[in-house]
Amino acid sequence: MQADSIDANALRSGTLTRSLARFVAGTQWRDLPANVRNEAKRSLVNYFAVALAGSNDPTLDKAVHVYQRFRADESASIVGRSERTDMLNAAALNAMSANVYDFDDTHIPTIIHPTAPVAAALFALAESRSMSGEALLLAFVLGVEVECRIGNAVSPEHYQRGWHITSTCGVFGAAAAVAKALELDEQHIAWALGNASVQTGGLVETLGTMSKSISVGNAARNGLLSALLAEDGFSGPDAPLEGERGFLRVAASQPVWSALTQELGHEWELLKNTYKPYPCGVVLNPVIDACLDLRRDARWSLADIEQIELTGHPLLRERTDRPGVRTGRESQVSAQHAVAVVLSRGEAGLDEFTDAAVADPSLRALGSRLRFIDNASWPVESAQVTIVLRSGERVEHRVHAARGSLAAPLANVELADKLHQLAAYSRSGVDAQALIDRLWKFETEQNAAAVMGLARAHGSD
């Protein structure tokens, strides 16, 4: 039965929630295609890379300081740090760390960052409940599937209305993943989704601030809690997703019911996951690519620039038209800053999106010359940067598929290099190569928690 054809009684009875719960309960490792299994490992390599990068950011320092006041025990690790904490706090802090620099993965077309909430919850659980690498990978794939299908059902309206979709949908992904890892049955998985439904939250208004990290952390923590409660028989509504006052109807005026179950088990959302080469909003990737190419072949100086025209899908302007940013965090979602800093430095790493870079008056002046041109027919992974010189000459470069997009994905060696670079950036002393080697063969790991030992700060117990 296609979801769009179900009647009101079926919606009230929880047909869609049950279908998802049954799918999670029944799917086994052997059911996953080889490319899905491989993508799961790629996602984890990227996850540890970005979690290490963010592990000693001031946002994490402050969060760890507060969360540690309320830890129940020291059973779980914090990526890139020496402190230990309890399972729920570790899930929250590691999800925060992976998302803090906007360097994490992105599901197309929802713009969900799927791995942080799901992986952080699973690894926190793995340090207290024995599980194999294969079991964790299976749970991870299924959590991402649930998370992104729910996102598909409410996109694009949900984000446009101001909900931070990684947070609101991520809690369902974490709940489903942990429920699978706990080997819960269909009924208990449905309860886990119901428990998650009352813990969704996160606002786009918080982007560029520390506050954004709270809801990303909560997605992992609350999803984990939702499944643990369900394991003990803590029950939920029959139709937490599709009910008359369920998540989907509250989150969007016209949910796409079919997105939840159509081709379930045949089309895998993880295969729509992408990995960023730059630490910024994903819609800026083609812009940065274009600026790097223009800078590389430049026969002009910055003083020659009269104006910069940025052509792209309207979403580019909606997400990144942020002049006069004040912090490095804000600069990660500012086209004005990204264009200016890349044209000036010819680089687009973490150092280019810091408070110090934002404070450079020459970058502010260059960024003020930017003008957006909307073209709704262009895909979001495409953009064109045109430099208008004072002489009247126009120099332009269009990127049809940004590096890191589905059409131009990062190779395994590039993901490994990203982990090396970000591990070094974290100054945690983590042996990046040892971690990478274990992740590429993670399905053979008898103890899934072993990699968390490798990801802890050097010199910790």
Q: For the chain, 461 residues long, give each residue's pLDDT as a single digit of tens.
A: 334 555 666 666 689 999 999 999 999 999 999 999 999 999 999 999 999 999 999 999 999 999 999 999 999 999 999 999 999 999 999 999 999 998 999 998 899 999 999 999 999 999 999 999 999 999 999 999 999 999 999 999 999 899 999 999 999 999 999 999 999 999 999 999 999 999 999 999 998 889 999 999 999 999 999 999 999 999 999 999 999 999 999 999 999 999 999 999 999 999 999 999 999 988 999 999 999 999 998 899 999 999 999 999 998 999 899 999 999 989 999 999 999 999 999 999 999 999 999 999 999 999 999 999 999 999 988 999 999 999 999 999 999 999 999 999 999 999 999 999 999 999 999 999 999 999 999 999 999 999 999 999 965 44
**67 domain residue, yes or no:** yes
Q: Domain range holding 358? A: 282-399
Structure tokens at 169: 């949908």
**218 domain residue, yes or no:** yes
**Rounded to 5°, angle at Cα 402 from 420 and 306:** 110
Query: Is residue 120 located within the same domain as residue 226?
Result: yes
Query: Is residue 245 located within the same domain as residue 361?
Result: no
Q: What CATH number did the domain enclosing 22 receive?
A: 1.10.4100.10
pTM flag (> 0.85): yes
Total of domains in the chain:
2
DSSP state of 161: T
DSSP of 389-438: ETTS-EEEEEESS-TTSTTSPPPHHHHHHHHHHHHHHHTS---HHHHHHH
What is the DSSP pairing of strand 273-274 with strand 370-374?
Answer: unpaired
**C-beta separation of 311 from 373 below 8 A:** yes
Strands (E), 64-116: 76-77, 84-85, 106-107
Query: Is residue 185 located within the same domain as residue 306?
Result: no
Q: What CATH number did the domain enclosing 303 receive?
A: 3.30.1330.120
Centroid of chain to Cα 136:
18
Query: Is residue 209 located within the same domain as residue 127?
Result: yes
Query: Is residue 75 located within the same domain as residue 204?
Result: yes
**412 domain residue, yes or no:** no
**Which are the contacts of 431, defined by CB distance < 8 A and separation ≥ 6?**
454, 458
Query: Is residue 317 located within the same domain as residue 430?
Result: no
Query: Is residue 295 located within the same domain as residue 444?
Result: no
Query: Is residue 290 located within the same domain as residue 269?
Result: no
